[in-house]
Amino acid sequence: MKKTLRFSFACLLGSLCLSLVPAANADTVLYDPNLGTLPNQQGWLSVVDTSTTQSMTGGLVNLNTTADRDDQSGYFSEDPFNGTVTHPNMPVLDRTAGYTVRFQVQVLSEGHNNRDDNNDGKLDRAGFSVIAISQDLAGLELGFFENRVWAYANSGEGTNSFFTQAEGVAFDTTAGLVNYDLAIQGDNYQLSANSQSILSGSLRNYNPSGLPPLTDPYNNPSFLFFGDDTTSADSNVLLGRVEVLNSAIPEPNSLLVIGCSVMLLGYRRRRT
């Protein structure tokens, strides 16, 4: 009889725990290379200058701007030239609720001019960038060298700091395809590479950027960009899957399940 009661209580507790587990937040896939098509065929605006090449290579997008450093080419979730062409699946990037931009990139090669705008000993233009702008225009631009990942600074972060190299980390971006998670919550971000945190800091608002209003990517709410956006650098990269997760923190259901498991184990130990 006692065994039956213990079993019934354990089942009841287990059912209660499962009922408390929230449904997982849906991820929004914005680019899937497994479909075998380029980003412009999956809702992205593709801006590719004359000397730039793009192709599907080994199931990934190969974007190469190394033939002409003046080329600026990449993939926009929204057309910065008129603000009307938007990726059909693009979600609202709400930094208050938190979100994560998950993407895959391998830098095959990257080169940049010897440009140090604020004379701090750090070079200030990268041949490959990722831009994530939240709904309220606070966001971040990350620059990728072959051996470093870093954030672009805003004005007010020092003398002549605007669009210079801010916080960064030594990291080999060439070794293979890296799974990056750019998690944004409130005023802060955290960048992970293959599930290991490598960089964190504060979000920026790059407005006014000084760019003409019709070509300003930083003034577009809920906006993403992947590519080469400078005439002072170039890159050859492989780009894989891109998606947005509706959370910047671990799903609570995993913690809840662990907690319930401990409760069940403790109950069994007390009653046996």
pLDDT of residue 266: 43
Q: What is the pLDDT along the chain (272 residues), one digit of tens a residue?
A: 434 434 343 444 444 443 444 434 569 999 999 999 999 999 999 999 999 999 999 999 999 999 999 999 999 999 877 766 789 999 999 999 999 999 999 999 999 999 999 999 999 999 999 999 999 999 999 999 999 999 999 999 999 999 999 999 999 999 999 999 999 999 999 999 999 999 999 999 999 888 887 678 899 999 999 999 999 999 999 999 999 999 875 544 444 444 444 343 343 333 33
pLDDT of residue 74: 97
pLDDT of residue 161: 95
pLDDT of residue 214: 67
Q: What is the 3-state secondary structure (H, E, C) of the chain?
A: CHHHHHHHHHHHHHHHHHHHCCCCCCCEEEECHHHCCCHHHCCCEEECCCCCEEEEECCEEEEECCCCCCCCEEEECECCCCCCCECCCCCCCCCCCCEEEEEEEEEEEEEECCCCCCCCCCCCCCCEEEEEECCCCCEEEEEECCCEEEEECCCCCCCCCCCCEEEEEECCCCCCCEEEEEEEECCEEEEEECCEEEEEEECECCCCCCCCHHHCHHHCCCEEEEEECCCCEEEEEEEEEEEEECCCCCCHHHHHHHHHHHHHHHHHHHHC
pLDDT of residue 211: 84
pLDDT of residue 2: 39
pLDDT of residue 38: 98
